[in-house]
Amino acid sequence: MSDRSLDDWSIDGRCYACGSTGTGARCACGEPLWLDTRPVPADWPAPDEGSGCWRFARFLPTDPPEGMVAGVGGTPLLRAAALDDYAGCRLHVKDETANPTGSFKDRGTAVGVAAACEAGSEVVGTVSHGNMALSVAALAAGAGLTAVTFVPDDVPPARIANLARFEPEIVPVAGDYGRLYHDSLAVGEEVGVPMLNSDVPLRVAGQKTVVLEILAERTPDSIVLPVSSGGNASAVWKGLRECRRGGLINDDEVPTLHLVQSAACDPIATAYRNGAETVERIDPGETIAYSIANPDPPSGTRALTAARETDGTVSSVSDDAIREAVRQLSTAFGLAVEPSSATALAGLRALCEDGIVETDDEVVLIATGTAFTEGIDADIDVPESIPRERIGERVAALI
């Protein structure tokens, strides 16, 4: 579409912090860039504007493509009354596990892959061995592109078994994995390969569509989500800003953003607690929420700003609390999420206990990723078998 300014993947971005514009992923001031896109007006949604996240194509930097990428987004927003007591408020769940590869990462990948196709690039890359790698590998394959995924050289084979299905170039890299974020962006710019890392402008642009979908249905008091790199929290904040600027929501309706981390790796929550201006790298411990264990988040300060500007919070929770939240989502709601995702529910429960979120507040919890793509190494007790004649008795006993 002619009113888009995307000539190639290194479209001009703007810095949320200092207002400068630039190309690539980072501003000269050190903070991440995002793309200026059209604000969402009060008379939206208009009918018949495409499906999934492409319903928002006129607020995105790319045109809707065909194939797998077209199937991203449009996830259900579900009332979860059975979890109200546990959470401590009126709970709704935005089920991002319904995306093609089971996480919200597909939204950002979809826009990244679409932009790569528009720019005539044949390769896209990312630094991940988890959900982001899976998403980039799958959607690149679906669009006929080659995906290159940089993984740590000590990654257990079981962790990349799902990834390998899509036959990306899996490149194990030795040394400091954290530094690869910056190294890969530099290499990508040099050789003209879009690197769809955690918080790059195209990824953030795609991932903001989750908020557009939520606000098209209802305007909650708060939105709660887990945070690691800060890319997705940035995207949610960007979506809220564009909806407010365009008039879809009023100034006094902007939902509060509550971001949650694992206590074993909580650099953003630490900065929030300390009243710090910026997020600093921490020494992480072990956590079951490995998808959100970034000790040096590239959009950490932007996520911190998002929470503060919306009168929200950044908190962290123990692995035990996360395990219990995983269980609650499975057994009381029927949704299998990975621990990283359940972190948000554990955090919300604590916020309600502290009275920061109130009992009659309407809250949307973003269920970020499914448990079904996790490597399984759990010990499950399989019940004893019974003779076929006794199945009636077993069912009757449940009534």
Ligand X SMILES: *Cc1c(COP(=O)(O)O)cnc(C)c1O
Figure out which of the listed residues 37, 109, 232, 305 binds ligand X, where binding follows CB under 6 A: 232
**What's the min distance (Å) between Cβ of 123 and ligand X?**
22
Q: With CB under 6 A as the contact rule, which of the stretches 5-13, 31-39, 119-127, 223-231 interacts with ligand X?
A: 223-231
Contact status: 105 vs ligand X (CB under 6 A)? yes
* Partner interacting with residue 103 (select from ligand X, Zn ion, none; CB below 5-8 Å by kind): ligand X
Residue selected from 198, 261, 262, 313 as contacting ligand X according to rule CB under 6 A: 198
CA separation, residue 76 to residues 160, 216, 335, 352 (Å): 28, 12, 12, 24
Partnered with residue 365 across adjacent β-strands are: 93, 224
Question: What is the phi-psi region of residue 192: left when phi exceeds 0, alpha when psi lies from -120 to 50, beta otherwise?
Answer: left
Token pair of 138 as six digits: 């799958």
Is 27 among the residues that bind Zn ion (CB under 5 A)?
A: yes
Q: Give the one entry of ligand X, Zn ion, none that residue 340 binds, where binding means its C-beta sits below a cut-off of 5 to 8 angstroms depending on kind.
A: ligand X
Question: 240 contacts which partner out of Zn ion, ligand X, none, CB within 5 to 8 A by kind?
Answer: none
Rounded CA-CA distance 80/323 in Å is 19
229 binds ligand X (CB under 6 A): yes
- Closest separation between CB of residue 44 and ligand X, Å? 25
- Contact indicator for 104, 207 with CB cutoff of 8 Å: yes
Stretch that binds Zn ion, among 28-36, 236-244, 366-374, 380-388 (CB under 5 A): 28-36
- Bridge-based pairing of strands 90-95 and 123-127 is unpaired
Which parts of 279-298 interact with ligand X (CB under 6 A)? 291-292
Q: Does 300 bind ligand X (CB under 6 A)?
A: no
| Nearest residue to ligand X, scored by beta-carbon proximity | 369
52, 61, 226, 239: which one binds ligand X (CB under 6 A)? 226
Which residues, other chains included, contact 263 with Cβ-Cβ below 8 Å and sequence gap of 6+?
287, 316, 317, 318, 319
> Does the protein bind ligand X through residue 133 (CB under 6 A)?
no
Hey, which residues between 301 and 360 contact ligand X (CB under 6 A)?
Answer: 338, 340-341
Contacts of residue 332, Cβ cutoff 8 Å, sequence gap at least 6: 82, 83, 86
Q: Could you say which of 62, 103, 301, 305 contacts ligand X (CB under 6 A)?
A: 103
Nearer residue to ligand X within complex by CB, 88 or 297: 297
Q: Which does 231 bind (CB under 5 to 8 A by kind): ligand X, Zn ion, none?
A: ligand X
**266 is a contact residue toward ligand X (CB under 6 A):** no
Residues 6+ apart with CB under 8 A from 364: 77, 92, 93, 94, 214, 218, 220, 222, 223, 224, 255
Of 32, 64, 300, 369, which one interacts with ligand X (CB under 6 A)?
Answer: 369
Q: How far is the CB of 15 from Zn ion (least distance, A)?
A: 3
Q: Is 374 in the site for ligand X (CB under 6 A)?
A: no
Quote the least distance from Cβ 261 to ligand X, whole Å: 9
386 interacts with, out of Zn ion, ligand X, none, CB within 5 to 8 A per kind: none
Q: Within 10 A of 332 (CB to CB), how many other CB atoms are there?
A: 15
For residue 18, state whether it binds Zn ion (rule: CB under 5 A): yes
**Gap between the Cα atoms of 16 and 350, Å rounded:** 30
Minimum CB–partner distance for residue 233 and Zn ion (Å): 18
Query: 85, 112, 76, 69: which is closest to 204 by C-alpha?
Result: 112
368 binding partner (options ligand X, Zn ion, none; Cβ < 5 to 8 Å by kind): ligand X
Neighbours of 170 (CB within 10 A): 18
* Contact flag: residue 231 with ligand X (CB under 6 A): yes
Task: Say which entry of ligand X, Zn ion, none residue 319 contacts (CB below 5 to 8 A, set by partner kind).
Answer: none
* Footprint on this chain of ligand X (rule: CB under 6 A): 103, 105, 131, 198, 226-233, 291-292, 338, 340-341, 368-369
Residues that bind Zn ion (CB under 5 A): 15, 17-18, 20, 27, 29, 31
